[in-house]
Structure 1
Amino acid sequence: MTETPATETPVQSPSPARPGRLVLVTGLSGAGMSVALKALEDLGYEAVDNLRLSLVPALLEQADPRKRPLALVIDSRTRDFSAHAVLEQVESLKAHEDLDVRLVFLDCGDEVLQRRFTETRRRHPLADDRPVPDGIQRERAMLFPLKQQADETIDTTQLSIHDLRRILAGKFQIGAQAALQVFVTSFSFRLGLPREADLVFDVRFLTNPHYDPDLRPLTGLDPAVAARVEGDPDFPDFFRHLTDLLRPLLPRYNQEGKSYLTIAVGCTGGKHRSVFVAERLAAWLGDLGLKVGLSHRELQRQSPRGG
């Protein structure tokens, strides 16, 4: 009787463990670090505020970022804080193959920072015996190396708390699908570019409803304004070229690992033309099956004059 050799079962190597996620948040005092940490905590991160830099290794030994992502705020309030020490720590942490480490820097304009400290009557951590503007400048100089080396820089000058939370969710959501998330916003060039924008489109060449007294009080959300802008003879070709430009770009952004894309559409006042075009663009993106967010920056606050 011939003995049939036993069939060997191939041994499958275990799939590599997913690296733990560690987000280090730093930046200018008053730029929104507390809001950012709370937003990350709401996303499911274990959040630790104002941790001494020397205690980070001990924390990582106790916490396991592979089981639950970890978010830390380390800023100028910390007793042993220095930009050089933070960068050394980040470099050391990034050497660990089982850790995905991201350094996030929150920036903000000086005037807005000064107003925030004045309105809340908070003391700037570096302005104990000097005016707030001096503390802001001192801290800005101190943190400059961190801003230069940050993986993500978010300027909160014109962001609401909701906007900051939305941006962080787009970048750091746990278990986020690979599919690209797109956010479309309209804005006024008079009031400045949205600093979080990846792509900016100028629609000031289109017919301006502002000069029609009946349409001036309305916005791009109103059918009469929409009809006026859409009736511009150049609008159909413009919108077709715009979508033809974006169509091949969107999958490439996704392939390159970009999970969040902000598209800004601007006109003079951010009330008529940009609002209508942003609405149309968001609808077109939604028809492609993308997850799309939409806001109109100037309609969320007192609207300026102009279209």
Structure 2
Amino acid sequence: MTDGDALLGKVPLVLLTGPSGAGRSTAIKALEDAGFETIDNLPLGLLPRLLSGQPPKRPMALSLDVRNRDFSPTAIIDALELVDDLPSVAPELLYLDCRAEVLRRRYNETRRNHPLDRAENPNDGIERELTLLEDVRARATVLMETSELTPHELRHAVQSRFAPQKDQAIGITVQSFSYKRGLPQGADLVLDCRFLHNPHWKKELRDMDGGDAPVGSYIATDSGYDPYVKSIQVLLEQTLPGYVREGRNHLQIAFGCTGGKHRSVFMAETIAESLANRGWRVSIRHRELNRYAVLGARPRIAEDGE
């Protein structure tokens, strides 16, 4: 939802979809708890009737999936075009993406049948559904990768994106990642740490990670470290207010290094701490370490200590 939409009084309308097992139940519950009026597994044929009366008074989220008897990619795209033409709502298509091997593992762990293949092995159903949803995925306005997210992390990611804290106009996620495993989907700013001293080549530091003090102290001895941190702080001080003015309600900052264990973790922790000290509420995710945390906004401290 843009700043212009807010000025026009448009109500957020989220169409939520994605492959079975990607986390739709968690996401729709997170939106409900954030104040959205939610409908799970809405028959698409009822959507025009639902929206033809009085415009929604509060944010609305509709979960759409293959369990629905009239589900099809064409029907979802038609639904998106229908809501795009409504003057009273600001629609977004949220697609929860997930890798096939992760979906297979989740189905094996829960021993549930896939809705597209009631046989004992869900593999065929997973492949059919991912193929079926390719065109829908391409039309998504928000693509959220859930393969590495716990239910708690997914819940926070959804609420940060669609219902940020009332005392803060934008939700910020700072994460670390490994370039060997690919860029994190949805990242707005990607920053490379691979030029800094690499603790991997120090035997005494190799088994530690960027959250350990000796690792951070070693990285900080790099002559490029201080200028790099200061330049990022200046960049964020200049750009964050602009994102807020534009109506952005979430920003994801990603720091990458070779293994995602040392330099990127330390930089993510350093910048997240800096943002929290400047009054921002920040969530931290270390993708390769499978860790997650939230830093509350801290009172600004003047340079004289008062």
Interval of TM-score (by shorter of Structure 1 and Structure 2): 0.7 to 0.9
Compute the displacement of 1:43 (Å): 0.8
CA gap of 1:90–1:175, structure 2 versus 1, over 3 A, is farther
The answer for unaligned runs of 5 or more in structure 2 is 1-6, 292-306
Shift of 1:39: 0.9
Q: Does 1:20 align with 2:7?
A: no
Query: What CA deviation, in whole Å up to 9, does each residue of 1:195-249 have, x standing for no partner?
Result: 2322222212211223333333333222222211111122122223333444433
Query: TM-score scaled to structure 2, two decimals?
Result: 0.83
Distance in 2, Cα, partners of 1:22 & 1:123? 31
Number of corresponding residues: 285
- Aligned counterpart in structure 2 of residue 269 of structure 1, from 259, 262, 266: 259
1:204 — aligned with what?
194
CA distance in 2, matches of 1:90, 1:177: 31
Whether 1:250 and 2:234 are equivalent positions in the alignment is: no
Secondary structure of the residue that 1:76 maps to in structure 2? coil
Tell me the residue number matched to 2:89: 99
Whole-angstrom distance in 2 between the partners of 1:211 and 1:145 = 45
The answer for unaligned runs of 5 or more in structure 1 is 1-15, 302-307
- 1:226 equivalent in alignment to 2:216: yes
Which structure has the larger Rg? 1
Are the structure 2 counterparts of residues 174 and 286 from structure 1 closer, same or farther at C-alpha, using a change threshold of 3 Å?
Answer: closer
Shift of 1:78: 0.2
SS at match of 2:133: helix
SS class of match (2:17): strand
Q: Retained in 2: the 8 A contact 1:52–1:80?
A: yes
Does 1:236 find its partner at 2:226? yes
Q: Residue 177 of structure 1: CA displacement?
A: 6.1
The one of 297, 300, 303 equivalent to 2:290 is 300
Task: Show the 5 A alignment for 1:1-307.
Answer: 18-60=9-51, 65-66=56-57, 68-128=58-118, 132-173=122-163, 176=166, 179-300=169-290
1:175–1:242 CA distance, 2 compared to 1 (3 A): closer
- Whether the aligned pair in 2 keeps the contact of 1:158 and 1:194 (CA below 8 Å) is no
Change (3 A) 1:178 1:117: same
CA distance in structure 2 between the aligned counterparts of 1:82 and 1:139, rounded to whole angstroms: 10
C-alpha contact (below 8 Å) 1:43/1:174 kept by paired residues? no
Q: Can you list the C-alpha shifts for 1:51-77, whole angstroms capped at 9, x where unaligned?
A: 2112224444688621x3221111111
Which amino acid counterpart does residue 63 of structure 2 have in structure 1?
V
Distance 1:178 1:232 in 2: 34
Report the RMSD for the aligned CA atoms in angstroms. Answer: 2.6
Query: Sequence identity, in percent?
Result: 44
Residues 237-275 of structure 1 show CA distances to partners (whole Å, capped at 9, x for unaligned) of: 222333344443333333332221111112233232222
Which amino acid is the alignment partner of residue 28 of structure 1?
P
Q: Cα distance 1:63–1:37, how it changes in 2: closer, same or farther (>3 A)?
A: farther
